[in-house]
Structure 1
């Protein structure tokens, strides 16, 4: 969704207040995503998360 909306990793992480290196590891599958992070991403994209 990030790429579909034309957001770079840097812009995306600035908007959600996350370290770019942490997000890069999540996106590459090297670090699992936490439930609260799913909700943060969902809020930004205006989709359902897990609550």
Structure 2
């Protein structure tokens, strides 16, 4: 079983770091990037730690 980090919630099951059984990330930390200088919603940011399965 992969370790899960309950502090990082994630529902992207196509990412190899996702722990599907708990909807958490297995990484200790993640990198988040904004699409522009003044993001107003979650649609304006990406998880740069995403790795496709």
- TM-score, normalised relative to structure 1: 0.26
Q: Name which one, 1 or 2, has greater alpha-carbon Rg.
A: 2
Higher relative contact order (CA 8 A, sep 6+): 2
Looking at secondary structure, tell me which structure has more helix per residue: 1
TM-score (norm 2): 0.26
